[in-house]
Chain A
Amino acid sequence: MSNIELSQIDRTVIGADGGLPSQSSDKSRASADRLGARGLLLLSWLAPVLLVIVWEALAQAGSLSPQVLPAPSKVIRTAYKLVTTGTLLNDLGVSLLRAAAGFALGSAVGGALGILVGFSRIAEAVIDRSVQMIRAIPFLASLPLVIVWLGVGEAEKIFLVALGVTFPIYINTVLGIRQVDPKLLELGRVQGLSSLQLIRRIILPGALPSILTGVRYALATAWLALVVAETIGAQSGIGFLAMDAREFLRTDVIILTIVIYALIGIAADSIARLLERRLLAWHPNYGAAR
């Protein structure tokens, strides 16, 4: 169990600043100092902006077929048109609602099971093996089965998202509870805390960093699940928009949906990070400075 978990955590941690760990030789640090933080920030935007400019120029010059890669300006115009006259906002709302419902369901189940197993060795013996066995299945592989059970509809999509969310939340909740420092639990007993107070004042706060790591990973999985579910069969939603556009070779709309998926992924991650900064203000690795 631990190998996969660790790699998950590593991935999220590396993704945390959205960049590579900063490691530089003295020489390169000296020239970086001359640029300053603002200069470095500007520099980091150079390549993506240049890429978009080159893309736009090639498209304008007619070197790129609009069916292969329409100009960025065209994608923006399409976005505007779809917002004002089309159903983009409605589709976006439908997609977000599905993600939210699946996330709520999955985190409730994962969290409840995680708390149960975290606290009780008996619950662990009863539950953990089954959960680990189901977890071994790449959850997207269960999609055909889910469609047979629930058909192609809202239930199937929400179920798939919930399935993807349950396991990261479960694992990190169990891990978090088990990692609480036994010396602090001992202190709680010395101070005369009841079991309930012990949970509220020591165990849950102690488990929170791990649980939030789970939340962050679950947000990414939820989004992935939603994209897959909406691509397979949907009558509304961002994924439906993309598949519908594919029928008519509207590459601009397809690119737009991809960009929207990316933006929402970034937004979800930002929310998770905001939560961490708020709830883990005490933690040296997360909190704002003193």
Chain B
Amino acid sequence: MNVHVAPRHAASSESGPAVVVSNLVRSYGSRVVIEKLNLRIERGEFVALLGESGCGKTTLLRALAGLDSIQGGRIAAPRRPAVVFQEHRLLPWDNLWRNVALGMQASDARERAAEALTEVGLGDRLDDWPRNLSGGQAQRVALARALVQQPELLLLDEPFAALDALTRIRMHELVRELVANHQPGVLLVTHDVDEAITLADRILVMRNGAIAFEHRAARDGSTSISRAELLVELGVISHSPN
């Protein structure tokens, strides 16, 4: 892994950023996908990253997750981030609590997994197999698996894209609740403008490997950005209607 993991100080869990990215460069051969990108996400802050396909947003997320090597710059995170992917990626041969506890060394792994599953509303399904779950339920288990390790940075790679509209709305509520309880920094990569507006404290639009637009919602969420403005930034429509 090329993510620089700084030693974790006792105080750092209370304050300080969840991740600081400076001058990040990511390229495939001679093709540069991310050019000198800077990004800072605070703990408890919900950042949504929008952008058309191929703009480099998933590449950025994968670099933050430590899945891809980086060619320049620095990623400083106090701890390994947790990731929820578009697919649930549950191990079909492990029951739900074992899936949630995957990678946990603690002796009370089962209890902690049970707590996390209860938190996502599946506390009565500890010993069930993943194949008996609906798409939304499976994604909730994936959320529980990500949060059980108390991450300081939570990376969400279009986790709701494959769900039906109603399930997606329920998942939005759940994620909002979970993030409020656990206070990780969140980076949500999404195609869905409405999802970004609903969930995020800060919305970033990425274009050609750089952050081209940034909008910070007011503390009380009152003056939110309009959908049309974001669509203009995304290059979907050319002018805002008013």
Further 20 A-B residue pairs, CB within 8 A, beyond A191-B102, A197-B103, A281-B129: A183-B85, A184-B91, A186-B89, A187-B83, A187-B89, A188-B102, A188-B103, A189-B67, A190-B67, A190-B82, A190-B83, A192-B103, A201-B102, A205-B93, A208-B93, A280-B93, A282-B92, A282-B130, A284-B131, A290-B132
- The reply to whether the CB of A283 lies closer than 8 angstroms to some CB of chain B is yes
Minimum CB–CB distance for A193 against chain B, Å = 5
In the complex the two chains form, is A205's CB within 8 Å of B89's CB? no
Q: Which listed residue, A186, A202, A281, touches B91 by the CB 8 Å rule?
A: A202
Q: Which listed residue, B85, B87, B103, touches A193 by the CB 8 Å rule?
A: B103
What is the CA–CA distance of A201 and B104 in the complex, to the nearest angstrom?
12
Residues of chain B from 198 to 232 with CB closer than 8 A to chain A in the complex: none
Q: Which listed residue, B83, B87, B131, touches A282 by the CB 8 Å rule?
A: B131
In the complex the two chains form, is B92's CB within 8 Å of A283's CB? yes
Minimum CB–CB distance for B221 against chain A, Å = 31
Q: How many residues of A contact B (CB 8 A)?
A: 23
For A208, the closest partner residue in chain B by CB is B93
User: Which residues of A are interface residues toward B (Cβ below 8 A)?
Assistant: 183-184, 186-193, 197, 201-202, 205-206, 208, 280-284, 287, 290
Minimum CB–CB distance for B125 against chain A, Å = 11
Interface contact tally, CB-CB below 8 A: 54
8 examples of A-B residue contacts, CB within 8 angstroms: A187-B85, A188-B103, A190-B82, A191-B103, A191-B149, A193-B102, A283-B92, A284-B131
Q: Which residues of A contact B87 (CB under 8 A)?
A: 183
What is the CA–CA distance of A189 and B69 in the complex, to the nearest angstrom?
13
In the complex the two chains form, is B93's CB within 8 Å of A282's CB? yes
For A189, the closest partner residue in chain B by CB is B67
For B95, the closest partner residue in chain A by CB is A282
- The reply to whether the CB of B111 lies closer than 8 angstroms to some CB of chain A is no
What is the CA–CA distance of A205 and B93 in the complex, to the nearest angstrom?
7
Minimum CB–CB distance for B43 against chain A, Å = 20
For A284, the closest partner residue in chain B by CB is B131
Q: Which residues of B contact A188 (CB under 8 A)?
A: 102-103
For A191, the closest partner residue in chain B by CB is B103
What is the CA–CA distance of A184 and B130 in the complex, to the nearest angstrom?
14
For A280, the closest partner residue in chain B by CB is B93
Q: Which residues of B contact A183 (CB under 8 A)?
A: 85, 87, 89
Q: Which residues of B contact A201 (CB under 8 A)?
A: 91, 94, 102
- The reply to whether the CB of B57 lies closer than 8 angstroms to some CB of chain A is no
For A187, the closest partner residue in chain B by CB is B89
What is the CA–CA distance of A205 and B87 in the complex, to the nearest angstrom?
20
What is the CA–CA distance of A47 and B193 in the complex, to the nearest angstrom?
68
Q: Which residues of A contact B94 (CB under 8 A)?
A: 201, 205, 282
For B87, the closest partner residue in chain A by CB is A183
In the complex the two chains form, is B129's CB within 8 Å of A290's CB? yes
- The reply to whether the CB of B172 lies closer than 8 angstroms to some CB of chain A is no
Interface bits B50-71 vs A (CB < 8 Å: 1, else 0):
0000000000000001110000
Residues of chain B from 85 to 121 with CB closer than 8 A to chain A in the complex: 85, 87, 89, 91-95, 102-103
For A282, the closest partner residue in chain B by CB is B93
